[in-house]
A and B are shown apart, each in its own frame.
Chain A
């Protein structure tokens, strides 16, 4: 059974704070690691697809790093804004399958 774990489960920060979340995934048979942002009443929005060990991706104030040898990825948000409030999901893709295995998500609430 392949497990993807995310921590923390939820996070409350003040506007302007920087924050980070963790995604742990199996370190064997790695193909790709996906990050999504899911706002209430909307569809999940793709943030990053990461494939190489040591990869770093950046989109605005959001960035992510990847360590495939130890099986973890970090998502960072610099200077959180209320509009960053959402559930952040990571998903592991193994081998050459199309199946995404999702973590349970980290719900971020940014207070003005």
Chain B
């Protein structure tokens, strides 16, 4: 039973470029959340997708957008990259319903030059 998988593992971009990160949730999960983790901080919530809709959003600019597909996989898109977007991006999946842990992938390390 595969857990949460994210791709790519590492990515290097330059300022102003655009990037797409991908996430496949754990089997049986229907909800995907994205987090940004900067060095020395805890993960910061970006947004959550359920039934292909953005259900909740954290304090991130519109440059950050996402999508959820019918198979529950998800993408995170970031436009007009800034140096400050350098971080580890984590995807977590869960099953909608009673409080359950979110299961995390290994993350995508994004470096902006």
Contacts and interface: CB of A to CB of B under 8 A. Distances in A.
Interface in B88-106: 90, 92, 94, 96, 99-106
Contact of A102 (B43, B55, B99, B101): B43
B42 interface: yes
Interface string A74-112: 000000000000000101010001111111110000000
B25 interface: no
Contacts of B92: 100
A9 to B, nearest CB: 9
Taking residues whose C-beta sits less than 8 angstroms from the other chain, chain A's interface range is: 20 to 34
Interface residues of B, number: 29
Interface stretch (B44-52, B68-76, B77-85): B44-52
Most chain B CB inside 10 Å of its own CB: which residue of A46, A91, A93, A98: A98
Nearest to A44: B104
Interface of B: 3-4, 31, 33, 35, 40-45, 48, 50, 55-56, 58, 90, 92, 94, 96, 99-107
